[in-house]
Chains A and B, each alone.
Chain A
Amino acid sequence: MKRKRRTEILIEGDPSLAKELSEMILHKYRCKELVAPRQGMTMVKMRETAKNSLFYIGEVLITEAKVEVMDHIGAGIVVGIKEELAKQLAIIDAAYKAALPETEEWGKKLMEEEQRIKQAKIQEQEELLKTKVLFETMDV
């Protein structure tokens, strides 16, 4: 599973999943902390829809961590102040980069979580649809 998809699942999904996967690696491999979880910023570049040009809307606070597992460096980056999650994401990232055998078993779990996230979003949309206006033309 590509990084974009799996990081979205791990960040939007149940926090216990990232914890569980990272602990599987920690129990079996040596993990060296290269960058302890720290706060920083990401400047957000955006495309505006009037002239189709780019501009910076502002910065977003993030937490970043970096670790090394089996000679592969992994990074964990997440919006907000989430030190544990950033480190767990970094461990999982390093595990994928090192192509550790454990990662081969993670696909099913990640896809199940992805489905739960999708259902939760569909449910949220359904709830918001209650506020959809149903216009009726009045006879005057």
Chain B
Amino acid sequence: MGYVAVKGGTNAIEASIERIKYERIKDMEVVSVETILSSMRLLVDQVMSEASLYSPYLAALAIKQAEGSMEEAVFLLRAHRSTLPRLYYSRTVDPYEMFVERRISASFKDIPGGQLLGATHDYTHRLLDFQLLSETKQDLENWLAQYSAEKLPRATRNEITHYPKVVEYLRAEGLFETYEADNTSPDDVTKYSLQFPASRSERLQILTRGQTGAITSLGYASLRGYGQVHPTVGEVRVGRLPIYVSLENSEMTDPEDDYYLGEIKVTEVESFVPVTKKKNTNEHEIEFEIGYGVCYGQNETKAIAMSILDQCLEHPEESFATHDEEFVLLHVDSVESTGFISHLKLPHYVTFQSKLDSVRRVKQGGTENES
């Protein structure tokens, strides 16, 4: 049985494309890319993260074009990414250089530098704010003027504060293992097909660009018992990281001659996971390991869930799907999963007709193997 070429859909497809534009604009409301950028910050962050391309402006454009559909916006941005040349690889970004906008710990009340709530929905009432229905630009101006005049303190310090990491404080106490810097060049899943077992760098790259919902669901499944990782969040950080490149294409060149490109905002999580280890004396001892999560923009649920899955995949367990890297890594990508599900909408006329023929023959008393 072969494929059968059919035609006749061209006019219908053209009309359908016009219809999707009609649905977007029929109410004569124009939302600008700038409006999306300013007012839908977290949606923009999510699209960039899942598309694996940091560009707030293009993410906002994709959201507009996709009428707010996450999967379509991610697809558009991922497709655009494939048209762009990759001109450089950055110097290794050091998370310790982050300009921290928010950091909290669920493990310790008192952390060096303190807990900084920053901007978060965590403590808001989840009640619809009907005042937003009549919000005007004048309202915004008034609120901002009052906020900066009355509520914002004036700086008295002379230096920028760099916050130490909670985990370093525990490493200094010998409670967590310290690892030498591993400078092995990372693998790149955008260049080569994934082979199993996957390297740590491949696992982290796939998880960080994974679909927020998929990463969250699998992390949640692990917590509920379909896995063996239930961590305590050591630290969640949201902040900006500087990006540098060297045109000399060598790590040996003087870093002071690098080019500064700008900043990217990320969310970074270290989760503390208790594990039982067998010592040389044959005794079992509880130690802590770290699950690591990071993603573009502010997306704390995804980064925490990623830290759970990172730890799951570090400890393969046959009995749990969330510890199976083939199961996790092959199913969390937005474009792959939505694309494969969507392909079911494409014509399967011949394959389905063949199945129908088989059923008819069986119903009529024949056998499936009759010619």
Q: Which of A48, A52, A58, A81 has the most CB of B within 10 A?
A: A58
Complex alpha-carbon distance, A111 and B165, angstroms: 30
- Residues in A lying within 8 Å of B, measured CB to CB: 2-5, 7-8, 11-12, 39-62, 64, 75, 77-81, 118-119, 121-123, 125-133, 135
Interface hits, B99-120 → A, CB 8 Å: 99-102, 109-110, 114-119
Q: Which of B117, B204, B262 has the most CB of A within 10 A?
A: B262
Given A54-B182, A133-B115: A3 touches B257 (CB 8 Å cut-off): yes
Q: Give which listed residue, B54, B57, B200, contacts A58 with CB less than 8 A.
A: B54
Q: Which of A3, A42, A46, A130 has the most CB of B within 10 A?
A: A46
**B86: interface (CB < 8 Å):** yes
**B75: interface (CB < 8 Å):** no
Contacts of A54 in B (CB 8 A): 92, 182-186, 201
Given A8-B242, A122-B155, A125-B161: A60 touches B86 (CB 8 Å cut-off): no
- B contact patch SS: mixed
Q: A59-B53, A79-B263 are in contact. List 5 more A-B contacts (CB 8 A).
A: A2-B257, A42-B90, A45-B89, A57-B93, A59-B81
Are A128's CB and B86's CB within 8 A? no
A68: min CB distance to chain B, Å: 15
Are B205's CB and A56's CB within 8 A? yes
Are A57's CB and B55's CB within 8 A? no
Contacts of A131 in B (CB 8 A): 102, 116-119
Q: 23 A-B pairs, CB-CB below 8 angstroms? A: A3-B259, A12-B262, A43-B86, A43-B89, A44-B243, A44-B264, A45-B89, A47-B93, A47-B94, A47-B95, A56-B201, A57-B266, A58-B296, A77-B245, A78-B261, A81-B58, A121-B160, A122-B155, A126-B153, A126-B154, A126-B155, A126-B156, A128-B100
Complex alpha-carbon distance, A81 and B243, angstroms: 16
Contacts of B87 in A (CB 8 A): 40-42, 62, 64, 77
Complex alpha-carbon distance, A135 and B108, angstroms: 11
Contacts of A64 in B (CB 8 A): 87
**B179: interface (CB < 8 Å):** yes
- A contact patch SS: mixed
- From B274-282, B287-295, B322-330, the one touching the partner chain is B287-295
Are B54's CB and A61's CB within 8 A? yes
Closest 6 CB pairs of A and B: A79-B262, A61-B55, A50-B290, A40-B87, A50-B292, A55-B201
Given A11-B262, A46-B95, A49-B290: A122 touches B160 (CB 8 Å cut-off): yes
Binary flags per residue of B287-326, CB closer than 8 Å to A gives 1, else 0:
0011110111000000000000010000000000000000
Contacts of B259 in A (CB 8 A): 3-4, 7, 75, 77
Interface hits, B173-208 → A, CB 8 Å: 179-186, 188, 190, 200-202, 204-205, 208
Contacts of B161 in A (CB 8 A): 125
Report the nearest B residue to A61, measured CB to CB.
B55
Are B209's CB and A60's CB within 8 A? no
Are B188's CB and A43's CB within 8 A? yes
Are B181's CB and A48's CB within 8 A? no
Are B53's CB and A80's CB within 8 A? no
Contacts of A60 in B (CB 8 A): 53-55, 90, 243, 261-262, 264
**B85: interface (CB < 8 Å):** yes
B199: min CB distance to chain A, Å: 9
Are A123's CB and B256's CB within 8 A? no
**B84: interface (CB < 8 Å):** yes
Contacts of A46 in B (CB 8 A): 92-93, 95, 294
Given A42-B245, A130-B152, A131-B116: A52 touches B53 (CB 8 Å cut-off): no
Are A8's CB and B186's CB within 8 A? no
